[in-house]
A and B are shown apart, each in its own frame.
Chain A
Amino acid sequence: MRQNFETRYFLEIKDMSIARKTVKTLAFLTLLFVSPVFSQEHHNDQSGDSGEEAFDPTEVIMHHISDSHEFHIFGDVSLPLPVILWTNNGLVTFMSSEFHHDETGEVIVEKNGMKFVRYHDEIYYAGADGKLSFDGEHHPLNDRPLNFSITKNVFTLFLSAALMLLIFIPVAQSYKKNQGAPKGLAGFMEPLILFVRNDIAIPNIGKKKHEKYMPYLLTVFFLIWLGNLFGLIPFFPFTGTLTNDIVFTGVLAVFTFLITTFSGNKHYWGHIFATPGVPKPLLLIMIPVEVLGMFTKPFALMVRLFANITAGHIVILSLFSLIFIFKTAAVSPVSIAFALFMFVLELLVAALQAYVFTLLSALFIGQAVDDHH
């Protein structure tokens, strides 16, 4: 029975990996296509602005998928977000609007007797002359304070977390009043919760042990799904995509890793350090491989989620960039048709990646707590 489940899921994962490869190939091609422009960017910076700037899709796309200290709403309107810096002289806070949208290190903000400049979204201590100094590859040499700013992605994280609390706490309360069949929002959410329980947790972790891990799996599932979906809504206060930041996916993967490691029973560790049925000399090779496997699994979780969502965004933005690259509106029907297709695909991917992350987390936890092989 257990074996059946595993083969089934591995088959499904194989199918998904084919779809993923397709998306990745698209993203790779897009990157190849825009990379000549990427190298041009630095060239432009060095030569200075000479009249009308050429459209740079890389910059647009990279700007879109990168984190930012401002929340761009439309046109020149942005929501300034708080900048929180842990400097050599303690905590410094101010609104990001004080940089006046500057990303080139020109505008100096003076607080607590310290000068700060912002260069490509990173805040540095300004040099004695109020300027940044650069190395040969045009990377700033200045030190920077620890930055705990409420950036666009942190704002989106707060928004997702608040929405989850607003959805699920009332749903939980509705069960106190209504003992019968679920109604309203609970009726919509319950099948999703049961899906996580019956199709992800129980088959992988087992009926006896799954309950302990349900809160984590549910939180991860809905947070990733919401985070993915927010990125597809093209207006304020959404547009920010949590899951296209590798730091966010990395933190979730680390949580899965920690839970797996601390839940591991003697069979799990026995499998790693004394793989059953393997001759003693081979263990010299097997132990490093198994230990490496402990880390590659969460690493794959982190990269898979990050790459899938980022790739989807890059493809959609690239399709829209075509209009500006060819400088004609005639391309727009093609762009819109393909982008619409991509949006629908991304809706699917948003749910699919939440499912895959949760499923694999459950699978790893299940391997760690499994009693018999």
Chain B
Amino acid sequence: MNITHPESLLFWTVLVFIILLFLLRKFAWKPILSAVKTRENSINDALAAAEEARKEMQNLKADNERIIKEARAERDTLLKEAREMKEKIIADAKEEAQQQGSKIIAQAKAAIEGEKKAALAELKSQVAGLSVEIAEKVVKQEFSDKDKQLELVENMIGEVGTLN
């Protein structure tokens, strides 16, 4: 291949290339590159903002979880306290009931004892009355026979003596 009239292409290439470079730089490359850069920046900003929001969300979620946890713990302690109180009340009631019961029982025993004593005393007095009546009747009957009367008195006295 022979290089013929190199000056033609040399001249036109230098001229056209410089004009093309100037025109494209001013009207194409700079606007395109700056638009792309602006967009890239806005995309990066948007991504950063999204990341920020995500972190905030995470913080909120953690807060919520913490609050729920605290509430749960509080509920648990409340429940525990209530249970303890219930048990205490029951235990107290039981003790009181027991005390009351034993007191009543003691009173009842005392009353029964008293009643028993009274009954025994009454019985004794009635037995004595009856004995006197019986004795009167027996005496009345026995007094028909003198010897028998005496013998009886002796026996009875002896009996009473052993009775006591």
A147 in contact with B8 (CB, 8 Å): yes
A158 touches B16 (CB 8 A): yes
Q: Is A165's CB within 8 Å of the partner chain B?
A: yes
> Does A193 lie within 8 Å of B8, measured CB to CB?
no
Q: Determine the distance from Cα of A215 to Cα of B39 in the docked complex, in whole angstroms.
A: 19
Bound-state Cα–Cα, A15 to B95, Å:
100
Q: Would A154 and B24 count as touching, CB distance under 8 A?
A: no
User: Do B24 and A218 have beta carbons less than 8 Å apart?
Assistant: yes
**Contact (Cβ within 8 A) A151 B9:** yes
> Which chain B residues in 8-57 approach chain A with CB under 8 Å?
8-14, 16-17, 19-21, 23-25, 27-33, 35-36, 39
A347 nearest CB across to chain B (Å): 23
**Cβ–Cβ < 8 Å partners of B31 in chain A:** 172-173, 175-176
Q: Which of B24, B35, B39 contacts A164 (CB 8 A)?
A: B24
* Nearest Cβ on chain A to B45's Cβ, whole angstroms: 14
Q: Quick check: is A274 within 8 A (CB to CB) of the other chain?
A: no
Hey, which chain B residues are within 8 Å of A211, CB to CB?
Answer: 33
Check: A62 CB closer than 8 A to any chain B CB.
Answer: yes
Q: Which of A44-52, A118-126, A278-286, A356-364 contacts B (4 or more CB under 8 A)?
A: A118-126
Contact B10 A251 (CB under 8 A): yes
Interface residue A336 (Cβ < 8 Å from any Cβ of B)? no
With A66-B1, A246-B3: A190-B32 Cβ-Cβ less than 8 Å = yes
In the complex, A50→B62 CA distance in Å? Answer: 100
Evaluate whether A154 and B32 lie within 8 angstroms (CB atoms) in the complex, with A161-B20, A168-B24 already known. no
Q: Are the CB atoms of B29 and A62 closer together than 8 Å?
A: no
A157 touches B13 (CB 8 A): yes
Do A147 and B17 form a contact, CB below 8 Å, given A168-B32, A169-B28, A218-B29? no
Within the assembled complex, what's the spacing in Å between the Cα atoms of A218 and B6?
Answer: 26
Distance in angstroms between the alpha carbons of A247 and B1 in the assembled complex: 12
In contact, A62 and B12 (Cβ under 8 angstroms): no
Which residues of A148-185 have CB atoms within 8 Å of chain B's CB atoms? Answer: 148-151, 153-154, 157-158, 161, 164-165, 168-169, 171-173, 175-176, 179-180
* Least distance between B27 CB and chain A CB atoms (Å): 5
- Chain B nearest CB, measured from A47 CB (Å): 21
B159 CB–A CB distance under 8 Å: no
Asked if A169 meets B27 with Cβ closer than 8 Å, knowing A148-B11, A211-B33, A214-B33, the reply is yes
A179, B33: Cα distance in complex, Å: 13
Chain A interface size range: 35 or more
Instruction: Give the most central of A62, A66, A173, A219: most B CB within 10 Å.
Output: A219
B144 close to A (CB within 8 Å): no
Most chain-A Cβ atoms within 10 A of its Cβ — which of B14, B19, B23, B28? B28
The size class of the interface chain B forms with chain A is 20 to 34
Interface residues of A in 258-287 (CB under 8 A from B): none
Q: Which residues of A contact B146 (CB under 8 A)?
A: none
User: 8 Å CB contacts to B: which residues of A109-127?
Assistant: 120-123
Judge whether B2 is part of the interface by a CB distance below 8 angstroms.
Answer: yes
CB-CB under 8 A from B10, the residues of chain A are 247, 250-251
- Structural contact, B1 and A154, CB atoms closer than 8 A: no
Distance from A317 Cβ to chain B, minimum over Cβ atoms (Å)? 12
Flag whether B7 is at the interface (Cβ < 8 A).
yes
Residues in B whose Cβ lies below 8 Å from that of A67: 4-5, 8-9
Bound form: Cα–Cα A219–B6 in Å = 23
Known interface pairs A153-B9, A255-B17. Does A171 touch B28 (Cβ–Cβ under 8 Å)?
yes
In the complex formed, the residue of B with least CB distance to A168 is: B28
* Cα distance, A1 to B67, chains bound together (Å): 48
Contact across chains for A120 and B24 when beta carbons are under 8 A apart: no
A307 to chain B minimum Cβ distance, whole angstroms, is 11
Do the beta carbons of B9 and A245 come within 8 Å of each other? yes
Is residue A228 within 8 Å, beta carbon to beta carbon, of the partner chain? Answer: no
- Chain B residues with CB under 8 Å of A246's CB are 3
Query: In the complex, A126 Cα to B17 Cα: how many Å?
Result: 34
Chain A residue with minimal CB distance to B37?
A: A211
- Interface presence of A353 (CB below 8 A): no
- Which of A146, A173, A219, A251 is close to B24, meaning CB atoms less than 8 Å apart? A219
Whether the pair B5, A193 counts as a contact (CB closer than 8 A) is no
**Is the CB of A310 closer than 8 A to any CB of chain B?**
yes
Q: Which of A66, A176, A223 touches B4 (beta carbons < 8 Å)?
A: A66
A26 at the interface (CB under 8 A from B): no
Q: How far is the CA of A255 from the CA of B30 in the complex (A)?
A: 20
Q: How far is the CA of A143 from the CA of B69 in the complex (A)?
A: 101
In the assembled complex, the CB of B43 is this many whole angstroms from the nearest CB of chain A, namely: 10
The verdict on A216 contacting chain B, using a C-beta distance below 8 Å, is: yes
Question: Please, could you name 7 A-B residue pairs with CB atoms under 8 Å apart, sorted by A?
Answer: A67-B8, A157-B12, A165-B20, A169-B24, A172-B35, A175-B36, A248-B13
Chain B residues near A (Cβ < 8 Å): 1-14, 16-17, 19-21, 23-25, 27-33, 35-36, 39
Given contacts A246-B3, A251-B14, 12 further A-B contacts (CB under 8 A): A67-B4, A120-B2, A123-B5, A146-B7, A147-B5, A148-B11, A151-B5, A158-B16, A165-B23, A165-B27, A165-B28, A215-B25
